[in-house]
Amino acid sequence: MAATLAAKLAGASNESIQKVLLSFRPLPHRMEFVARKNQVAFFNDSKGTNVHSLCRSLESFEEPVILIAGGKDKGEEYQPLARYIRRHVKNLILVGEAKEKLNRAIGDFTETFLVGTFEEAVYLAYQKSRSGDVILLSPGCASQDMFKNFEERGNYFKKIVDSF
């Protein structure tokens, strides 16, 4: 909105503003659309490494969400996620060092699965999905328990999705 207003004030036409908005691509790993497979949409939000960003990501969807979360705990409280999990998440798939802590805080609010590997999390999410669902990687945790950084985690997610 701010950019649109600034462009208008600078004299840009509605058509040129619309063209730019339609061609905008978000930065990788930040609510990045990855693919649509069998009417299931995959989104990579590997940069969502804290509770606040995970809440914002979940608010982005009206469709049922299968959420892949977990990783290295950063000492945050996960209880604030409860209302977002209840409202948006069809299945919760937890992985990584924080999976037990996450499960204790939010696992009772939807069907929840604890898995051992990242690959298992992505495969299970796809297995549980139905037409119209969204599979969202938005960990709410750091990546360093399994990956070098959030980019490596997000790229691996995209690689697995591409294999479907």
Written as one letter, the residue type at 48 is G
- Give pLDDT tens digits for 22-40: 887 777 888 999 999 999 9
C-alpha span between 46 and 28 (Å, rounded): 9
Instruction: State the SS3 of 91-149.
Output: EEEEECCCHHHHHHHHHHHCEEEECCCHHHHHHHHHHHCCCCCEEEECCCCECCCCCCC
pLDDT in tens, 63-84: 999 999 999 999 999 999 999 9
At 135, give phi and psi (nearest 5°): -105, 120
